A and B are shown apart, each in its own frame.
Chain A
Amino acid sequence: GQSLEQPSEVTAVEGAIVQINCTYQTSGFYGLSWYQQHDGGAPTFLSYNALDGLEETGRFSSFLSRSDSYGYLLLQELQMKDSASYFCAPWRDDKIIFGKGTRLHILP
């Protein structure tokens, strides 16, 4: 079958580091993307991992382990503007499927 799991909510303090985990089970998998969406807004691309390992883009990093069907998004030096929903999104069969999203709350 197909499944996609990520925490529904995470709370962290401004300036801290937070990790959002994602586990997936899907046929035809070939890469994992992460998207950010603010309330009322459109999703924006954060990262894409096709190979195992860590990809770093500024304050955001994403990790993939294909053998474990697992990935995570790491956000460092959290800012209030990072309060948003974060979607784990695996690519399979030439299309992308979004998880239920993790709502990140940042406390001052």
Chain B
Amino acid sequence: GAVVSQHPSWVICKSGTSVKIECRSLDFQATTMFWYRQFPKQSLMLMATSNEGSKATYEQGVEKDKFLINHASLTLSTLTVTSAHPEDSSFYICSARTVVLNEKLFFGSGTQLSVL
């Protein structure tokens, strides 16, 4: 089956630093990747949609200068949390959409970000 690799799985950083999270589709080409944020025991909140070679589309209320998304190839999307602060601490998770199984999303294992 399709595999999505997300790294790192957890990261602790100091306030004010930037953190980059990678999401790779290992055995398929992802036409679209979605980035979500999830708080404990809550739903996945869609942050942005990224398509290869174009600018990401951010959901209302998500700061695009804060959460930089790059989708440079059909197998890689990155989310950079710039100048992270404690309120950015959360579980970030990506998902990928294929051409063939269009409505079936494959998720990465998530990244737990803790900002001190």
Contacts and interface: CB of A to CB of B under 8 A. Distances in A.
Interface residues of A, number: 22
Interface stretch (B14-22, B63-71, B78-86, B100-108): B100-108
Contact of A42 (B49, B103, B109): B109
Contacts of B105: 33, 35, 43, 45, 96
Interface size class of B (residues with CB under 8 A): 20 to 34
Nearest to A49: B103
Contacts of A45: 104-106
DSSP majority for the A interface? Answer: strand
Given A33-B103, A42-B93, A91-B103, A99 B43 contact: yes
Interface of B: 32, 34, 36, 41-46, 49, 93, 95, 103-110
Interface of A: 31, 33, 35, 41-45, 48, 50, 85, 87, 91, 94-101, 103
